Amino acid sequence: MLLALSGAVYQGILWGIMVLGVFITYKMLDIADLTVDGSFALGGCVAATASVTLGLDPLLAILLGTLAGVIAGAVTGLLHTVFDIPAILAGILTQIALWSINLRIMGKSNVPLLNVDTVFTRLASLLGVSQSVASFMIGILVAVLCIVLLYWFFGTEIGSALRATGQNEHMCRALGIDVRVTKLLALMISNGLVGLSGALVCQSQKYADINMGTGAIVIGLAAIVIGEVLGRLTPGKLQAFGSRLTSAVVGSVVYFLIRAIVLQMGMDANDMKLFSAIIVALALVIPVILERRQQHLSYSKGGER
């Protein structure tokens, strides 16, 4: 049980980097970018092929996986901003195309990394620790670095313009901000983080699979919602931007812990997608019900007066 929970923690941290990418598009631009399912697998497939077939350094393989995610985000962004295809449809088109592209990259449905050096095996041998501990250490390091860089970037002029685009696109246009550029940039950064997460997960689990990104967007949304709920329960409600980024990663860890506990209790692994969808649906529906209930009570009190 403890082994399963510890595995869920480091897995949640590595997937939490993907959640940061989903956070950018979903919470800032109000776009559920379905490219994520394809770009996550793309990052893993590129990293695996770079290590196994090309024999490249594992760090370089991870960078290539990240770059591949950036390119996937750029494709979705160009379809949406240049050709005016709705964002959700542009994401679907890219996701479908990436399935075939990922298969072409690997040449088969999965590629094992059993005899290949990874950043995790390197750190484990360097420090004399287990790979689980190495995964936890690298996951924390990369997640913290991503949060710090995102916090800094979104405090810059272009980052502030990107955040403003999601808040009020029409006002940004009136102020002379090219919202097409900010949307394109957001999608590239988002899928770059997703590709980075896919590459790290690939090296951590020692294989890449064509279906490894299936349901990634649902996991991302579930983690974000869980993180927001935890933020509301925390004193001060963690409204600061840096805290919201941190809560997204924490939400990912909590999600994987919940999943590990449920699986240990005997739940069929094939039902996990359904379980994830139910979590997201409940987390999205309950706040709406509570808000409507509050409005109803306020109207009733107003009528009594």
Question: Over the stretch 59-118, which tens digit does the pLDDT of each residue have?
Answer: 999 999 999 999 999 999 999 999 999 999 999 999 999 999 999 999 999 999 988 999
Indicate the DSSP class of residue 236.
T
So what's the pLDDT on residue 305?
47
So what's the pLDDT on residue 235?
55
When pLDDT is averaged across residues 154-164 and rounded to a whole number, the result is 93
How many beta carbons lie within 10 A of that of residue 34, not counting itself? 21
Instruction: Say whether pLDDT at 43 is over 90.
Output: yes
Q: Which residues partner with 208 through β-bridges?
A: 111
The domain total for the chain is 1
Q: Which residues partner with 207 through β-bridges?
A: 112
pLDDT tens-digit readout, 10-36 = 899 999 999 999 999 999 988 889 999
pLDDT tens-digit readout, 221-280 = 889 988 887 777 665 544 588 888 999 999 999 999 988 888 888 888 788 778 878 877
Instruction: Say whether pLDDT at 218 is over 80.
Output: yes
So what's the pLDDT on residue 207?
94
Angle at the Cα of 230 (from 229 to 231), degrees rounded to 5? 90
Instruction: Say whether pLDDT at 44 is over 90.
Output: yes
SS3 letters across 76-143: HHHHHHCCCCCHHHHHHHHHHHHHHHHHHHHCCCEEECCCCCCHHHHHHHHHCCCHHHHHHHHHHHHH
Q: What is the Cα–Cα distance from 281 to 227, expressed in whole angstroms?
A: 15
The structure's pTM equals: 0.92
Place 2 in a pLDDT band, splitting at 50, 70 and 90: low
pLDDT tens-digit readout, 193-215 = 999 999 999 999 999 999 999 88
State both tokens at 204: 């951590």
So what's the pLDDT on residue 1?
62
Domain hosting 246: range is 2-304
Q: What is the Cα–Cα distance from 142 to 124, expressed in whole angstroms?
A: 16
- The string of DSSP codes covering 2-49 is HHHHHHHHHHHHHHHHHHHHHHIIIIIS----THHHHHHHHHHHHHHH
Instruction: Say whether pLDDT at 301 is over 80.
Output: no
So what's the pLDDT on residue 296?
84
**Residue 111 and residue 49 in contact, taking contact as beta carbons nearer than 8 Å:** yes
Best CA proximity match to 247, nearest among 262, 261, 259, 234: 234
Helix H or strand E segment including 208: strand 207-209
When pLDDT is averaged across residues 146-166 and rounded to a whole number, the result is 93
What percentage of the chain exceeds 90 in pLDDT? 66
Instruction: Say whether pLDDT at 284 is over 80.
Output: no
When pLDDT is averaged across residues 116-127 and rounded to a whole number, the result is 94
So what's the pLDDT on residue 280?
77
Name the average pLDDT for the chain. 90
Angle at the Cα of 247 (from 244 to 252), degrees rounded to 5? 135
Q: Specify the higher pLDDT residue, 267 or 179.
A: 179
CATH number of the domain within which 187 lies? 1.10.3470
